[in-house]
Amino acid sequence: MRSFNDSRDVPRSKGHAPSAGEHAYRRAAFHALLIVAIIAACALSVMFGARPVGLDDVIRAFSDTSADDIAAEAIQLRVPRTVLGLLVGAALGVAGALMQGVMRNPLADPSILGLNSGAAFAIVCSIAFAGLSTPRQYIWVALLGASLTAVLVWLVGSVGRSGPTPLKLTLAGAVISSALASLTSAILLPRVDVISTYRFWQVGGLSGGRFELMAPILPLFAIGFVLVLWSARHLNALALGDQLAAGLGVSMTRVRVLAWAAAVLLSASSTALAGPIGFVGLVVPHAARLVVGPDYRRIITASMLMGPLLMVAADVIGRVVTRPDDVEVGIVTALIGAPVFVMLVRGSKVKEV
């Protein structure tokens, strides 16, 4: 990976190095490889599970909608699950990249900033005090909890004359996250029945993926992804330091607020649909940075491809290794993500943000 930056042997390009032919070619090849891998992972995701089906069954299920045997039924469950994996993977990967960029903190990710504990706290409260119990209700409760926590972290992190500095935001996230985790435990401990209901939400996974649950959240993902596209080049300026970025005409507050909002929308929506899934938001942007370099436009594009791949692959592995039971994807992402990340880091040291 190091050789990507170390291009002394490459003929010097006129001016803009990013447009240098070789770099662009390698990036295109890398993206193509990722897309092929994602397609393969999706195919496996539809084929494998408690009851494996053949590729011919898959094709039949898509071409003949009247098919209603067990294979077709399995496929009908696995397709939305796969789609959810793609969506959540892309959202978490990109949200992590955004937060690392806004905070200039390599450890920033949705869970460290308190979004997951905010969602968990809201879920526990809703089970314990309001008696809510359906996945549809959990989605909105989790979304609300995560978003309110994000706003709270922002407000606490903005206290003082220097405004929302990366360090204050990180500290605010850590503090509020711990406080909410304690409150969640305090509510859970005396309520055994709540614990057993909450447990299923808390693991995080794609098994609850159904199109009718995803549909109402899709606009939030859409807004999030549009804001991401807008933020990317501003994050490049932000990475040069506040003063230089301001000198380059970046409206600091606007960029911070909107990039933050995008990250919150994407990760809160993911948590609402799939529960708290750690690691993806942290590791995917770093892996992307190691491969494509420090340009946020490229980091975000690569994260948008690497996140879904990790997510869907982890979900397939979770279904296959302990068949007929599932190991939920949140557990597998960490299990396979960690060694892959260690391999990447061995090849080249992790880039500072």
Partner 1 sequence: MTGHSPQPPTSHTLAARHVTLAYERREIVHDLDLDITPGTVGAIIGANGCGKSTLLKALARLLTPTHGAVTLDGKAINTMPTRKVATIVGLLPQSPMAPEGITIADLVSRGRHPYQGMLGSWSDEDDRAVAHALEVTGLADLADRPVDEVSGGQRQRAWIALALAQQTDILLLDEPTTYLDIAYQLEVLDLLSELNATEHTTIVMVLHDLNQAARYTDWILAVKDGRQAYFGTPDEVISERMVAEVFDTDARIIADPDTGLPLMLPGTRHSLARLRGDSHGEHAQTATNHDDNLL
SS3 state of residue 237 = helix
Considering beta carbons, is residue 18 or 135 the nearer one to partner 1? 18
> What is the rounded distance in angstroms from the CA atom of residue 205 to the CA atom of residue 69?
26
Contact range with partner 1 by CB under 8 A, out of 173-181, 241-249, 269-277, 336-344: 241-249
DSSP 289-334: HHHH-S-HHHHHHHHHHHHHHHHHHHHHHHHHHTTTSPPPHHHHHH
Under the binding rule (CB under 8 A), the answer on residue 20 touching partner 1 is yes
| CB 272 within 8 Å of CB 84 | no
Under the binding rule (CB under 8 A), the answer on residue 232 touching partner 1 is yes
Contact range with partner 1 by CB under 8 A, out of 6-14, 51-59, 121-129, 321-329: 6-14
Q: Rounded to the nearest 10 degrees, what angle do helices 280-292 and 70-103 cross at?
A: 70
Q: Which of 47, 88, 250, 302 binds partner 1 (CB under 8 A)?
A: 250
| CB 253 within 8 Å of CB 163 | yes
Under the binding rule (CB under 8 A), the answer on residue 14 touching partner 1 is yes
Binding to partner 1 by CB under 8 A, coded x per residue (else -) over 155-194, reads ------x---------------------------------
Contact range with partner 1 by CB under 8 A, out of 63-71, 110-118, 142-150, 247-255: 247-255
Q: In whole angstroms, how close is the CB of 89 to partner 1 at the nearest point?
A: 24
Considering beta carbons, is residue 6 or 64 the nearer one to partner 1? 6
Under the binding rule (CB under 8 A), the answer on residue 246 touching partner 1 is yes
Contact range with partner 1 by CB under 8 A, out of 31-39, 128-136, 246-254, 330-338: 246-254
Helices marked H in the chain: 21-47, 55-63, 70-103, 115-130, 135-157, 166-188, 192-203, 211-214, 218-238, 242-247, 252-274, 280-292, 296-321, 329-347
Size of site (CB under 8 A) for partner 1:
40
Under the binding rule (CB under 8 A), the answer on residue 302 touching partner 1 is no
> What is the rounded distance in angstroms from the CA atom of residue 100 to the CA atom of residue 352?
10
Considering beta carbons, is residue 18 or 54 the nearer one to partner 1? 18
Compute the radius of gyration of the chain from its Cα atoms: 21
Considering beta carbons, is residue 12 or 346 the nearer one to partner 1? 12
| Spatial CA neighbour of 260 closest among 142, 175, 333, 158 | 158
What sign for the dihedral angle of Cα 331, 349, 299, 101?
Answer: positive
Q: Which of 61, 75, 237, 282 binds partner 1 (CB under 8 A)?
A: 237
The site for partner 1 (CB under 8 A) is made up of 5-8, 10, 12-20, 104, 161, 229-230, 232-233, 236-237, 239-241, 243-244, 246-251, 293-295, 297, 351-353
